[in-house]
Structure 1
């Protein structure tokens, strides 16, 4: 039986306070939880403290004190075979359920296509939940800064037949500043070849956000000689989940024609109702 010491019990209590604060945004990643604990003054911003938090949360989940679904692990991959059915009635039931989930392209009629790109894979689940109502694709990790990833972005822009606007989220550090800039330049160059237009808008993390929200920062690595004007580096996951959500929603809605979006949503509801009537 696990018998945590008083310091661990205090840390778990602090984690429970953080999870309660972000009830509507769960699951959050362990690193998001860590930065919240740093902001609350519970932990220092060190790798040792992060490891300690991981061990405590892991045992807390195993013991049942912390719900498994509250923390996002972002590990593992599963590829399943095509769906199967137990018979025609099961197939018809599945079709009715599919009709209940019917949706149109929610960026239909907009002047551009929006995508969300994140440097951190740990934010993918939250970003996907935020982007889903607006019909945005979310991409994360290092794949989009590869040469093939940049070319594929230009090909998507060409297939949309209207500009592709990428809303980029990344760390405030030399890499987080220079990679998006090079990314924008390369994608734009490929886009010119394919006769289409692209734009990259950085929405987080910025120096203004670090100052406004009092985000924790650390000195840049002395071995990184690239130009960097900020006074310190800050990781994307240092942004509290509610702040991140507000920034993403604002960035999306500022770039969408919300009147056109409302019309698409109304058409979607009417067509869904018609499909369900036909299936019944």
Structure 2
């Protein structure tokens, strides 16, 4: 019950940033001094949170799982009236390309799939896609990224978030080594910026650390490792927002939003008059 109460407090603290992943919840509990940073404590937290969700104490949509895949059939409609109603609903959500007019196109990449929903809350208002990829990502994904870059007349900038460990540090390097030349072969331009986790983040926010794995022999300067999900959700959102705004012309962005609003109103007026 004490652990559940601690989880309740963590979820309440980040209520505006839900859902959180179970590992983010664990690192928050570690930072709060509720549990030790051990695999046994993590498994215990998973078990207790699972019981809390089954009992109804913890809302199902408060925790992100990212374990299931579902492929839905094409959209179907009950009748023509349903189709018209959905057209109006779609018009209410009309959006322009909110990266229109900017000097660079941004994508946000996270090593942790569990953080994508939170990151999207920050990136979506700017029209920035969020992608997840553990490990070193597939060659097909890298080539597809290069083709997206080639389809632009601007630089495609990837803002990358990953663990502070040998793999996390080398993932952006591996991406750049392939994506850059692939894109250049199609006259595309790319840039890759590693946003987190950095040693400064660890010291500033007092993040929990662990020794590097002895089996990983890649070069790694820091003396300890830290996982991305150890960064509190509100801090992670701030890091991402600042990185985005630093690379946006906010005047151009506001103009796109105003044009979007005017066009949405015209669309709705046309649908209402037909």
Unaligned stretches of 5+ in structure 2?
none
Structure 1 match to 2:6: 14
| Secondary structure of the corresponding residue to residue 151 of structure 2 | helix
Shift of the alpha carbon at 1:144? Answer: 6.8
Structure 2 match to 1:257: 249
Shift of the alpha carbon at 1:61? Answer: 1.1
Structure 1 match to 2:130: 138
| Secondary structure of the corresponding residue to residue 252 of structure 2 | helix
Cα 1:144–1:272 shift into 2, 3 Å: farther
- 1:15 and 1:37 in contact (8 A); partners too: yes
Structure 1 match to 2:23: 31
Structure 2 match to 1:186: 178
Does 1:97 find its partner at 2:89?
A: yes
Q: 1: CA distance between counterparts of 2:142 and 2:56?
A: 44
TM (norm. structure 2) is 0.97
Does 1:204 find its partner at 2:196?
A: yes
Q: 2: CA distance between counterparts of 1:237 and 1:104?
A: 32
| Secondary structure of the corresponding residue to residue 145 of structure 1 | coil
Structure 2 match to 1:232: 224
Segments ≥4 residues shifted beyond 3 Å: none
Aligned pair partner of 1:75 in 64, 67, 78: 67
Does 1:41 find its partner at 2:33?
A: yes
Cα 1:163–1:81 shift into 2, 3 Å: same
- 2:209 and 2:225 in contact (8 A); partners too: yes
Aligned pair partner of 1:270 in 221, 244, 262: 262
**Residues 179-229 of structure 1, C-alpha deviations (whole Å, 9 max, x = no match):** 211211221111221112100001110011001000000000112221111
Q: 1: CA distance between counterparts of 2:146 and 2:74?
A: 30
- 1:116 and 1:166 in contact (8 A); partners too: yes
TM (norm. structure 1) is 0.95
Does 1:244 find its partner at 2:260?
A: no
Which stretch shifts more, 168-177 or 120-129? 120-129
Structure 2 match to 1:279: 271
Does 1:151 find its partner at 2:143?
A: yes
RMSD: 1.1
| Secondary structure of the corresponding residue to residue 160 of structure 1 | coil
Number of positions where the alignment pairs a residue of Structure 1 with one of Structure 2: 272
**Residues 115-137 of structure 1, C-alpha deviations (whole Å, 9 max, x = no match):** 00111111111112221101011
Unaligned stretches of 5+ in structure 1?
1-8
- 1:168 and 1:200 in contact (8 A); partners too: yes
